[in-house]
Chain A
Amino acid sequence: MLKKLAMPLVGVLAAIISLALVALGNPGNMGFCTACFLRDSAGAVGLHGAAAVQYLRPEVIGLVLGAFLISMARKEFAPRGGSAPITRFVLGFALMIGALIFLGCPTRMMLRIAGGDLNAIVGLFGFAAGIFGGIFFLNKGYSLKRTYEVAKTDGLLAPIVALILLALLIIVPGILNFSVQGPGSLRAPMWVALAAGLILGGAGFISRLCFIAGIRDSVLFRNFSMLGAFVAFIIVILVGNLILGSFNLGFEGQPVAHTDGLWNFMGMVLVGLCSVLLGGCPFRQVVLAGGGNSDSAITVLGMVAGAAFAHNFGMASSAEGVTNNGMVGFGVAFLVVIFIAIFNTFGKNRQRGGA
């Protein structure tokens, strides 16, 4: 019984932390959005110049370090890598293009749904469509092949980089960019945000919480445990928003969101598809990076680069809507992802383990 309740309880924990972060200062419906926070962090270190979205988010640093500490404590820290790293970088890059067209990763999509943002329901349909697309390729044999054991230093680098970034934030914040207005200027106190990240990083590592696995595993294996976390997360946020008076049903006037239905849908198609092809959502990738998986660390770097490009080349949407560059960027990213999917599914030299 306890085992059955474990996943929904992790969803409840993530939801409570998300609500608390918004109440303490994070942007609306953005208690915990991995894509948004990677984007803000990219801006903080000058990888893009969008002044409204620059802040080295302690939540992301905490996610990596929390996962790392728990993995060490449980003797499950596993330095592994070598499974199509550049392909993963590109998929992470493309995922971020999609996320910044929609304005959120799967976590924020759920936060937005539970905040009454109907644009995110449109995004959910796109997300599900993308996941179904990924499942199609998985069923046909898609694989990025094996990972291998790598040097311990390879696995340790993500936590070390996270520690260095934390040191910069605490000791010499003056060298970083900090938004003075816009979403990047809205932030929970640093230590609270860091603690939230540490807790979720640890809980995420133990539970293997992944926001695509809910839909993916229900379809593929009739395994609904992860979907339990997904649903529990939305319900708790919904109730919390109703209590806090921050529930606002509708399409218009939603925080950090636009109302272009087609592109809310298409953005999340790309996020769902890339997440399945990567084997996990952005949150899961950051957690795995903390646990020693260098493929996931490279995926995170791909997402950071994608965020930087999205803002440097005007591909990211804003409350005003999607941009022309965003549409072009989506087209290119989508074609590249489909190419990756087809080649790694039907390619002649492709092989998965087994038999």
Chain B
Amino acid sequence: MRTIDACGISCPEPLLMLKKALQSESELMLLLDGKGALGNCEEYAKKQGFDVETTIEGDMFKLHIARAHE
């Protein structure tokens, strides 16, 4: 499973990285460290039909994103 580390990357690049990755991946791990990017990425992934499971590790958010089963 691919991991995208978007910690410290400024807006809107994390979402752009996610958008590009979701065009080819059905499951990935996204690492973020900003609440703004977190909300946007969760919302975007869900809108595209993916399940998002977020865990917090210290200052970092780990988003496990996988295509939702019908």
Q: Interface residues, chain A, CB within 8 Å of chain B? A: 76, 78, 80, 83, 138-139, 143-149, 208, 213, 216-217, 220-221, 223, 279-280, 295, 352-355
Contact = CB atoms under 8 A, between A and B. Distances in A.
B44 A83 contact: no
A347 to B, nearest CB: 16
A72 B21 CA distance: 34
Which range holds the interface residue count of chain B?
Answer: 20 to 34
29 contacts: A76-B35, A83-B10, A143-B9, A143-B13, A145-B9, A146-B8, A146-B9, A147-B9, A149-B59, A208-B11, A208-B36, A213-B11, A213-B12, A221-B12, A221-B19, A221-B44, A223-B40, A223-B43, A279-B10, A279-B13, A352-B13, A352-B17, A353-B4, A353-B5, A353-B6, A353-B7, A353-B17, A354-B21, A355-B2
B12 A138 contact: yes
Contacts of A78: 34
A220 B2 contact: no
Contacts of B59: 149
Nearest to A353: B5
A83 B7 CA distance: 12
A25 B10 CA distance: 37
Given A83-B10, A221-B19, 6 more contacts: A146-B8, A147-B8, A216-B12, A295-B10, A353-B7, A353-B9
CB-CB nearest 10 A-B residue pairs: A146-B8, A279-B10, A353-B5, A354-B4, A147-B8, A279-B11, A208-B36, A354-B17, A353-B9, A353-B6
B16 interface: yes
Interface of B: 2-13, 15-17, 19, 21, 34-36, 40, 43-44, 59
Contacts of A221: 12, 15, 19, 40, 44
A10 B4 CA distance: 32
Contacts of A147: 8-10
Contact of B9 (A213, A216, A280, A352): A352
A148 B43 CA distance: 25
Contact of B8 (A148, A216, A223, A355): A148
Contacts of A352: 9, 13, 17
B21 to A, nearest CB: 8
Contacts of B15: 220-221
A138 B10 CA distance: 12
A317 B42 CA distance: 44
Nearest to B14: A353
A148 B7 CA distance: 9
A82 B16 CA distance: 21
A83 B6 CA distance: 13
A352 B11 CA distance: 13
A201 to B, nearest CB: 16
A138 B36 contact: no
A283 to B, nearest CB: 14
Contacts of A213: 11-12
A142 to B, nearest CB: 8
Contacts of B13: 138, 143, 279, 352
Nearest to B17: A354
Contact of A80 (B4, B8, B36): B8
